Structure formats: structure tokens, C-alpha cells
Homo-oligomer: A and B are copies of this chain.
């Protein structure tokens, strides 16, 4: 195992701290490492991959395997009318969580059998018949307790759509909309935060992780369930409309063109952070109170959040994704990786500090979700519930799919140290 870095990379110190050195040949210039490897794992940032993939391809040994950690490069190559070079196996092993969770669960796996992060594998090109074995071996080496098969295209679509929708973009828009909603209804800033952001990243995420999507509704008393059903009925439609729009734009390549245009603008002028929004000012106060009080599930917030998850599940199903991918990219990655991280740091911090592609996507689509909740869903959240829609939710096949996947969940604490 050798680490290749671009000249001047800020990760060099980190690599040395983990025992990789120029002296023994385990650390070096990226193109030299590429030229010396039979399996090349391309783990650099999307923008760097878009800018430099031709140099990388040119440096490959004949027949060396191209390994990816998600499908972005495929989307980019299609957009520019290019392709992977022929004669090379192309595989992907895609952990269903952020890098921080991948590493932490891997470390926990030293002590606890079964720890590690779920991953999907994709075999995109298999010229010598070894691609599937290589992908499985890499996934096992990563400590994945549960590996499922998909295609690079399907992975790309669900990954990029998911981070714009319920994994990040929709969460940001939702907590901004709900915080303002509760503030205008008379809550003080801290209570409004506890009923919106804290609720989603705390009790709602934990309940889904332990008891499934329907576990949230089941945890409520009759009064709470009535509020949940109304909120669910009001939010499902506008959320579904937006997930479908995002899906169309990602599948068409429009979203990627936007990212590339943004990269060009950002070379001139940095992105303004969004963490100045007034709700984040009270986050430290809320975190301080955590030890002394357990926030209960807010039924309005729960209805809006679960409806958005269900909308993404249904849209992914409608577009033909396999169940393993649907539950991992919509639910498990959210409640076991991203929401616990946001619980520790807050949502705005995550938006301002995630990958460029995800950050741009969350900023493009988060406000659309906010507006859809404020202008369409919340004004209808006191109307009678749509009984057919609620019945479709309680009888939804996703509950069985998630329960099956949950049996394979690592038996460790997924939480993030503060």
C-alpha cells in the first residue's frame, strides 16, 4: 500500500504520521505512485479528478485497475463526451457514510467484530475477469460488514441526488424553515432550535436508527400521531416534487454543469459561509443543555422529516434503484453517519465544511426545500391528513427492507465525539 500525493499536498504530514515515508517508497508523487501500482484508488477531490484524470489515465500501467470511491468521475466523463481508457478494470467501492465515519468504524473494527461501514461495489469494466474479486477484496479490507452490488451509474445518481436531498440539502432547508416557523409561532430561540434542528439530528435520527422509519410514528401518542400524520401529508408532495427535480437535473448532467460553472466562479471569489444565520447562534446553548434534559420527538418536525425520507425512497424506487442502495443512501447513511455528525457540529458547519460538490449542491437545493416547506407544506400542516398516503406509509415495503439491512448494522456506537 503506497500513498501518492500531489506536490505540496497538505496531507503529506498526515501520511507521515501514519507511517508512510518517502524513504521506504510508501509515500511519493501521485503520478509516480500511479505508474508503480496495479490497483490505483483515486480518492482525490471531485474537482481535482475532473481537472487531472487524463494525466492519471496516461500514467497507468497496462491493465492496472482504476478504483473509485463513488461515481462522480463517470458523470463527469459523460458530460465532457469522454470515457475510461480501454483495457483497464474499472471498479468502485463506495462507503455509505462520510470519511470521518469510514475511519472511525474501521478503527472500532480492531476491537469489535462486525464494526465497519456498509459499502456498495460496482464493476464498470472487467476486461480480464478479476474486477469483481478485486472490488470484494477492497470492500472486505475496508471492514465493510455489509457489501451490496450496484452499478457506477446507479451509485452516482443515488449519491449525488441523496446529498442534495435528505442526506444534507433538505435537512438544512428543513431546519431553517422549522426554526423560523417555531420562532414566529412564539417559541424562544433555544426552544425553536430544540424542536427543529436538535430534534432531527437527535431523537428522530436515533429512533429511526433503532426502530426504523415507522418507529418514529409508533413512538408518538395519539395526539402526537395526529400532528405527525397531518405534517406527513402536507410535506410528502412538495418534497417528492423536489427530489424528482433534483434527480432529473443530475441524470441530465445539468447539475454537474452547474458545479463546473461554480468552480470557475469560485476561482475568482470564495463562497460565503452560511453559518451566520441566526439559528446557529443558539446551538452551543442547546448542546450544553443536552446532559440535563432529553428532547422528546416533536411530531410536526418528525412528520416533515419522515415524509421527506419517504419521498426520496419512493423516487429512488420509481427510478429503479435496488433496495439495498435505497435504504443505505436515504436512511442508514443519514441516521448512522451524517446526522450524528451534524448533531455533534451542527448542520451549517457541515454544509460549510463538506466536499465542494456536496457543498454546492446543498446550497443550491437546501433553499428550495426551505421554500417548499414554508410556502407549500407548513401552511397545509393543519389540514386533515391524507389517509391513503398515511396508509401507504405504514404498509410501505421500505420498513422490511430497512429491518433486513439493520440486522447487519455494526454493533457499535455510531455517535461522533463532541
Task: Check if A345 is an interface residue, CB within 8 A of chain B.
Answer: no
* Bound: A37/B127 CA distance, A: 62
User: Is B261 a contact partner of A254 (Cβ separation < 8 A)?
Assistant: yes
What is the predominant secondary structure among interface residues of chain A facing chain B? helix
Cβ of A194 under 8 Å from chain B? no
Is the beta-carbon distance between B370 and A370 smaller than 8 angstroms? yes
Most B-side CB within 10 Å, residue of A241, A367, A368, A379: A367
The smallest beta-carbon distance between A230 and chain B, in angstroms, is 15
Partner of A277, one of B238, B241, B375: B375
Asked if A262 is an interface residue, CB under 8 A from chain B, the answer is: yes
The residue that A370 contacts in the complex, of B245, B371, B380, with Cβ under 8 A, is B371
CB-CB < 8 A to A248: which residues of B? 261-262, 264-265
Q: How far is the CA of A184 from the CA of B281 in the complex (A)?
A: 15
List residues of chain B with CB within 8 A of the CB of A274. Answer: 371, 375-376
**Residues B265 and A258 in contact, CB atoms below 8 Å apart:** no
User: Nearest residue in B to A273 (C-beta to C-beta)?
Assistant: B376
A374 within 8 A of B: yes
Q: Could you tell me the distance in whole angstroms from the C-beta of A244 to the nearest C-beta in chain B?
A: 6
A407 CB–B CB distance under 8 Å: no
Chain B nearest CB, measured from A75 CB (Å): 15
Give the B-binding residues of A (Cβ under 8 A): 176, 180, 183-184, 237-238, 241, 244-245, 248-249, 252, 254, 257-258, 261-262, 264-265, 269, 272-278, 348, 363-364, 366-368, 370-372, 374-376, 379-380
